[in-house]
Structure 1
């Protein structure tokens, strides 16, 4: 269909940016694609979408397996959060926090330990650490920044939680449509070293703490910290449950990891696992972990069976939106194939002699814009991956670098977007003014994105995973250089102020 074939994809991007509604954007794009396929016959298009697309996507054995897995994950995560174990775990470490650096590192490591829920990190860790930050006169904006940097950036690097499963599901569908004999799980694991923005968003916390550095956008809130204003916050007791223990967290996770190792062996770590085996092992692991968590909650009388059942079902229901996005993304990919979207884009790239080495950088920048405007990482993934995977394969762009660029772009925009759910919850968890949080962490995010942009340009020509260490070294050296610049600039300002305030000496 030529250039007409890209209308649904372009429409999805524009609508996501304009409406901020990913589901609406995807659905409208799917429907427009169906209209193009059926000569704008509304009835035929509706029948095609329901019968040949939605039903087919839901009854596909792979897709059904992913949906079941997402439901298991949703139930387990909700149970873990509401068990009080995560709160008890974070609370158990508080006795070690008697200096500014220790309390900030404590919040950092606690956020990483609660990796199973990007939304749970700010709501659990925030209320635990907020009193320590207040006592030691560390700004709430700094706490919000730490919470934000240990939520989504950590979650997107883990293949066996919701984020990883979602991306793997999108990859598997594209590989299937392109008849590629690639393992989606292995491809995701191989892309982790190239998901540089997410990694830098995490490492910048210990780097700046060890170097004693803050960007001025953050430092100004430390200076004005004494003029505190009461802000909306979550209830501190929300995740504090009677008789909850710290092992409510680590024991079920040990069961989950033990199941994965038991069923998959060392190949699980190496990323050499077939998609069907991975889904089966992961579903089993979450099921066993949930059973163990339910058992210890009942034994400790922290919740009744009726309460536990309601929590678990509630967690499953929270996955509805994610599943809808996933099904719509799969459908949009199928409609795009029927329209010949990828064929047109590939041919276009060839005609303009586009160098595949530049694709990762282009994808990172585009993903950053979409996710910032839409406030959704997952929406960005669902729109971009079906486009860039076939292009990367045909124009010989580095596939794993390109996947990492999509994930990094989605994370950057989501990390700094004022309408992102994790950004909003980080502000709430730290009891911090939301716009102050967005403003204070912007410099850190832009700094990391500049390094990531250079990284994707270099890795486009040399896709070596070792370059991730170069990226981290550049981050460290960059912080040192900026700190030195600040120091020189501050000295100049002091000298200028001193000269202005000094009385003139008469020479008469």
Structure 2
């Protein structure tokens, strides 16, 4: 009983300390300045031409530290970026930051992410203002009568929208928010249900953006013969331990078998009092005040047809969600204009306003790629892999690959970019040990899925929280216990597979 009382008091004291720090500019500037001075000093201890070694981990650790204190992902990431640049060259920090920003903005992957997020935000905004999302929610509400049924439906929808984790994170959360609010399910739990069926499911399906990207990457790095990348990817699916583990965990939670822990328990208690939306959270910015109502059947079709066009067009253009979103947006604009649900000006405004809503998530994701660039310059990935090299064996390689690469992806938030650096190291290592290549690829994809799932500033985490209506930190803190359960299951599975399959 005393421990139950002490915990809220401890949380209250911590909150007071954090508030006192953040509300006192002088103390905060002194604190932050001391840390930056420390990184500038460390740069003087580094010998040019030599690797940074343990120092390469410090910016990532600073990001986690600041995030825990401030609960603000963007500010935390920029603290790590500045620290990393100071470590690299404190005399060139302004131009270094400028060059880093230009390089990231000019990156083709970043341009793709910005356009996809913006297009998806605009499409969902049109669906919201046209009343289609509401019609879809009402259709589900007539058939789903329980809280557990709502959560299981959310997970099932997540599996059905398997083509891309961005599509999953935004579309499923948008269509389920009204229903989860009705059954007093917290937005944090909605974000968890959505995020757990995003990247973890996408890696298990060969018809997804993940599969296309990694199949090409495997061919480029000599893991298989040219043209055989997708075949190797499909062979690796049974060994993608974290994807399967995350799927099991989320259905156990949705079915009420696995209970609520930590921040999730607090969020669910708040939701049961009639507050599913966390305090201080602004609405997602989608203005539905001028929404026109249609018949339920027409409204449902107005939701399902754009979604079908989105998936079909993405598949047609070789799993390119950008082109799929572009085609679906044009289709929706014509469909709604023809039905006089919105005029042309309102449709264009919907697209632009939807893009504006996505600006903060886009900024966080772009900042995450800047962290990745800094970590690459510091040599963090090779350092982690080299540190584990003395412990490598054929049997332990899958588990060590999972642990090391999961740590790298978690620290950088870049589930795709990291493997451009790591694959040229890991693949030759696996070949030299005569390791099962499907098992190696399974361990790599498991690490990528876990890092994307657990990191508080990864793209899927940020988009899931944005779509669900909570902050990335609220989502990440409530999700991390379940992600760790999945990680432990995956690690044990890969250890067993290492001794039986490798």
Q: TM-score, normalised by structure 1?
A: 0.61
Q: Is 1:126 equivalent to 2:177 in the alignment? A: yes
Q: Structure 2 residue aligned with 1:381, among 393, 398, 415?
A: 415
Q: Is the 8 A contact 2:384 2:404 kept in 1?
A: no
Q: Is the 8 A contact 2:170 2:464 kept in 1?
A: no
Q: Evaluate the alpha carbon distance shift between residue 223 and residue 297 of structure 1 in structure 2; reply closer, same or farther with a 3 A threshold.
A: closer
Q: Within 5 Å, which residues of 2 pair with 1:63-462?
A: 63-64=107-108, 66-83=109-126, 84=128, 85-99=132-146, 101-112=148-159, 116-119=167-170, 121-122=172-173, 124-131=175-182, 133-134=183-184, 140=185, 144-145=188-189, 147-155=191-199, 157-158=201-202, 186=230, 193-207=238-252, 213-215=257-259, 217=261, 228=273, 230=275, 232=279, 241-243=291-293, 245-264=299-318, 281-303=320-342, 304-311=346-353, 313-314=355-356, 317=359, 319-326=362-369, 329=372, 332-333=375-376, 335=377, 342=382, 350=389, 352=390, 354-355=392-393, 357-365=395-403, 379=413, 381=415, 385=419, 388-396=422-430, 398-411=439-452, 413-414=454-455, 421=462, 444-461=482-499
Q: Is 1:10 equivalent to 2:57 in the alignment? A: yes
Q: Evaluate the alpha carbon distance shift between residue 184 and residue 314 of structure 1 in structure 2; reply closer, same or farther with a 3 A threshold.
A: farther
Aligned length: 412
- How much does 1:425 deviate? 6.2
- How much does 1:3 deviate? 5.9
RMSD after superposition: 5.3
Please name the residue that 2:77 is paired with. 22
Q: Evaluate the alpha carbon distance shift between residue 183 and residue 461 of structure 1 in structure 2; reply closer, same or farther with a 3 A threshold.
A: farther
Q: Is the 8 A contact 2:196 2:453 kept in 1?
A: no
Q: Quick one: distance in 2 between partners of 1:406 and 1:149? A: 20
- How much does 1:154 deviate? 1.9
Once the two structures are superposed, residues 38-88 of structure 1 have per-residue CA deviations (whole angstroms, 9 ceiling, x without a partner) of: xx7638x947983xx7666766xxx43x34432331233102321223343
Once the two structures are superposed, residues 136-163 of structure 1 have per-residue CA deviations (whole angstroms, 9 ceiling, x without a partner) of: xxxx36x8535412235424543799xx
Q: Quick one: distance in 1 between partners of 2:258 and 2:442? A: 30
Q: Quick one: distance in 2 between partners of 1:56 and 1:208? A: 41
Q: TM-score, normalised by structure 2?
A: 0.61
Q: Quick one: distance in 2 between partners of 1:70 and 1:414? A: 18
Q: Quick one: distance in 1 between partners of 2:403 and 2:386? A: 22
For the pair shown, the structure with the greater C-alpha radius of gyration is: 1
Secondary structure (helix, strand or coil) at the match of 2:307 reads: helix
- How much does 1:255 deviate? 2.6
Secondary structure (helix, strand or coil) at the match of 2:396 reads: helix
Q: Is the 8 A contact 2:221 2:427 kept in 1?
A: no
- How much does 1:206 deviate? 4.1
Once the two structures are superposed, residues 7-36 of structure 1 have per-residue CA deviations (whole angstroms, 9 ceiling, x without a partner) of: 564234323322333354246435644x4x
